[in-house]
Amino acid sequence: MEFFTKTNVVRLRSHLDKYLVADADGNRVHQSRKAYGRGAWWTVEEITDGGTKKVRLRSYHGRYLTASEAPFLLGMTGKKVLQTELEPGADFKHEWEVIRDGFQVRLKCWSGRFLRANGGTPPWRNAVTVDEPHSSATKDWVLWDVETVEAVEELVDELCESVVSSLASDDVSVDSETASPMSVFALNSSPARRNSKLMLQVRFDFFGLWTFRFAIFA
């Protein structure tokens, strides 16, 4: 449980090094290697149920990670995992018991199944279900790494401060014609390199991570 006590917002990384992501439709979830953006952010709400500590995980849509009773595929044991609104009298469907397993966690739902990151060919690829690890080959499929978003933000802030500090003494012009959430800064070089120009491209994905790209043009 201590994995969730030091932060409000987390990212969950599966055994496939993919993140649990809330789909833009506000209903489904999937796995993705792209960790930037609010889709991979889950707000933690701690609850106590008869001495057992559990969590609810709220997506950026304001909906909760929910273990359903609907089969992911007919004839298979895995059940769908969805984003849903809180239901009066059915709060248990949104609750996850946190079970520590070394440096990782297993998330157990109301039915006794575990949040499971599937792999393989479609439709299993990138799918997330609640299920049991049926063999030693799939026991790691229910293990998740918990990453705090605050730690990522601090790293980004340090990187931004470092870049801004290094550019503070240079002349900066901004390309205002860029249509996407991206800014391109053109820096005049020093007199010793007046025929060269340094381009710094900075991109910010909404509520995600800053990425930097440098290029020197003669």
Is residue 53 scored above 50 in pLDDT?
Answer: yes
Residue 197 in any domain: the answer is yes
Can you give the residue range of the structural domain that contains 37? 9-149
184 CB-contact burial (10 Å; exposed 0-12 / middle 13-18 / buried 19+)? middle
Last residue of a domain, one of 100, 115, 149: 149
Is residue 147 scored above 90 in pLDDT?
Answer: yes
- The model's pTM: 0.68
Last residue of a domain, one of 96, 116, 149: 149
How confident is the model over 167-204, as pLDDT tens digits? 555 554 444 444 444 443 344 444 444 444 444 454 54
| Residue 107 and residue 24 share a domain | yes
Question: Residues 8-26: what's their mean pLDDT?
Answer: 96
> Phi, psi (5° rounding) for residue 115?
-65, 125
Is residue 214 scored above 50 in pLDDT?
Answer: no
The chain-wide mean pLDDT, for the chain, equals 77
| Residue 140 and residue 176 share a domain | no
Residue 154 in any domain: the answer is no
Total domains, the chain: 2
Is residue 156 scored above 60 in pLDDT?
Answer: no
What is the model's pLDDT at position 184?
A: 38
What is the model's pLDDT at position 149?
A: 87
Residue 132 in any domain: the answer is yes
Count Cβ atoms below 10 Å from residue 137 Cβ, excluding itself. 8
Residue 157 in any domain: the answer is no
Per the DSSP assignment, residues forming a β-bridge with 198 are: 187, 216
Percent of the chain having pLDDT more than 90? 50
Is residue 75 scored above 80 in pLDDT?
Answer: no
